[in-house]
Amino acid sequence: MTTPRTKILVTGGAGYIGSHAVVELYQAGYQPVIVDNFSNSQESALAGIESILGTTVPIYRIDCADEAALRGVFAAEPNIAGVIHFAAFKAVGESVQKPLAYFKNNVGSMLALLAVMPEFGVENLVFSSSCTVYGIPDALPVTEATPTKPASSPYGRTKQMCEDIVHDVAAAPDNKLRTILLRYFNPIGAHESAKIGELPLGVPNNLVPFITQTAAGIREKLTINGSDYDTPDGTNIRDYIHVVDLAKSHVVAVQRLLDHKATDTVETFNVGTGHGNSVLEVVKTFEQVTGQKLNYSIGPRRPGDVPAIYADATKAAEVLGFRTETSLADSLASAWKWQQTLAK
Ligand code: UD1
Give the pLDDT score at 187. Answer: 98
- The domain tally of the chain equals 1
Residue 63 CA to residue 87 CA, distance in Å, equals 9
User: Is 225 within a domain?
Assistant: no
Q: Is there a contact between 49 and 19 (Cβ–Cβ < 8 Å)?
A: yes
**Does residue 286 sit within a domain?**
no
In a domain, 236, yes or no: no
| Digit-coded pLDDT (tens) for 188-205 | 999 999 999 999 888 999
- The answer as to whether 125 is a domain residue is yes
Beta bridge partners of 30: 6
Q: CA dist 287 to 135, 228, 235, 295, 332, Å?
A: 30, 22, 17, 10, 9
Confidence of residue 343 (pLDDT cuts 50, 70, 90): confident
pLDDT digits (tens, 9 = 90+) for 201-252: 889 999 999 999 999 999 999 999 999 999 999 999 999 999 999 999 999 9
- Domain CATH number, residue 21: 3.40.50.720
Query: What is the CB < 6 Å shell around ligand 1?
Result: 90, 92, 130-132, 152-153, 156, 186, 205-207, 210, 222-225, 236, 238, 279, 302, 305-306
Give yes or no: 26 in active site: no
Burial zone of 334 (CB within 10 Å; 0-12 exposed, 13-18 middle, 19+ buried): buried
Specify if 337 maps to a domain. no
How far, in Å, from the CA of 341 to the mean position of ligand 1?
24
Q: Which of 94, 106, 132 to mutate to test the pocket of ligand 1 (most atoms within 8 A of CB)?
A: 132
Q: Residue 192 C-alpha to ligand 1 middle, in angstroms?
A: 23
pLDDT of residue 152: 87
Q: Tell whether 209 is covered by a domain.
A: no
Which one is catalytic: 155, 184, 229, 240? 155
pLDDT reading at 304 higher than 90: no
Kindly give the distance from the C-alpha atom of residue 214 to the centroid of ligand 1, in angstroms, as a whole number.
Answer: 16
The enclosing H or E element of 278 equals: strand 277-278
Asked whether residue 292 is domain-assigned, the answer is: no
Classify 187 as helix, strand or coil. strand
Domain that holds residue 94: 6-188+242-273+311-325
Task: Kindly state whether residue 113 falls inside one of the protein's structural domains.
Answer: yes
Alpha-helix runs per DSSP H in 35-102? 44-53, 67-76, 92-97, 99-102
The SS3 assignment for 236 reads coil
Residue-level length of the chain:
344
